[in-house]
Amino acid sequence: MSKIVHPVAGTLAFLTIATFWLATALSELFAAPAGVAAVKLAIPWGFLLLVPALAAAGGSGFALAQGGRRGLIGAKLKRMPLIVANGVCNMLGQYWWTRSIHLAPTSAVVPFQYLSLIWAMGFGFALWGDVPTIGLLVGSAIVVGSGLFLLWHETRPKMPKLGPP
């Protein structure tokens, strides 16, 4: 039974993750902000499929190992606690990010997405040796500055409008 469950559960988990990624990428590229929020609010419901599929893949893989602790199986068993901790931390992070988008005003949450610029530049430099150009840095500063200005503008106290004298 495990020889059937393991590849099916692994494939289901992979396809669920790919669907999460594809829905997020397409909504970020082509949808209105309400569509992006809807996709991000729907993704946690997908965990109801993903988590059992991952558990089934892990459990069936453990059963297929039949207590073996050498070679590839031993190496995988040593990595499993780290993989589980990584998955739990990522799941909690996604959940709380989605809740923040749902509960907080958009003007308060969106500036945190500017951190992705910093992370992208950092990973680009660390992994591929990309050095940001002056144009990229200036453009990023304009985008971030505009967003922070809008945040300030939208969150400052509003002056009451006076009627005609």
Q: Note the pLDDT tens digit of each residue in 43-97.
A: 889 999 999 999 999 888 888 888 777 777 788 878 888 988 998 999 999 898 8
Asked if residue 112 and residue 91 are part of one domain, the reply reads no
Query: What letter does residue 35 receive in the DSSP assignment?
Result: H
- pLDDT category of residue 38 using cuts at 50, 70 and 90: very high
Structural domain including 22 reads 1-103
- Is the same domain home to 96 and 36? yes
Whether residue 21 sits in one domain with residue 72: yes
Answer yes or no: do 7 and 77 share one domain: yes
Q: Which of 103, 118, 138 is the last residue of a domain?
A: 103
According to DSSP, residue 120 is labeled H
For residue 4, the model assigns a pLDDT of: 92
The residue from 65, 84, 103 where one domain ends is 103
Is the confidence at residue 140, as pLDDT, over 90? no
What is the per-residue pLDDT for 163? Answer: 67
**Coil/strand/helix, residue 62:** helix
Q: Do residues 4 and 68 both lie within one domain? A: yes
pLDDT over 70 percentage in the chain: 96
pTM, two decimals, is 0.49
User: 38 with 111, same domain?
Assistant: no
One-letter amino acid for residue 47 of the chain: F
CA dihedral (5, 10, 16, 19) positive or negative: negative
Query: Is the pLDDT at 130 greater than 80, yes or no?
Result: yes
For residues 58 and 31, state if they share a domain: yes
> Do 17 and 52 fall within a single domain?
yes
144 in the same domain as 94: no
Spatial separation of the C-alpha atoms in residues 47 and 35, rounded to whole Å: 19
Residue with tokens 């469950």: 5
Q: Per residue in 106-128, pLDDT tens?
A: 667 776 777 778 888 888 899 98
If one counts the domains in the chain, the total is: 2
Do 148 and 120 sit in the same domain of this protein?
yes
Name the domain boundary from 70, 103, 136. 103
Residue 165 has pLDDT above 80, yes or no: no
Same structural domain for residues 19 and 60?
yes
For residues 108 and 77, state if they share a domain. Answer: no
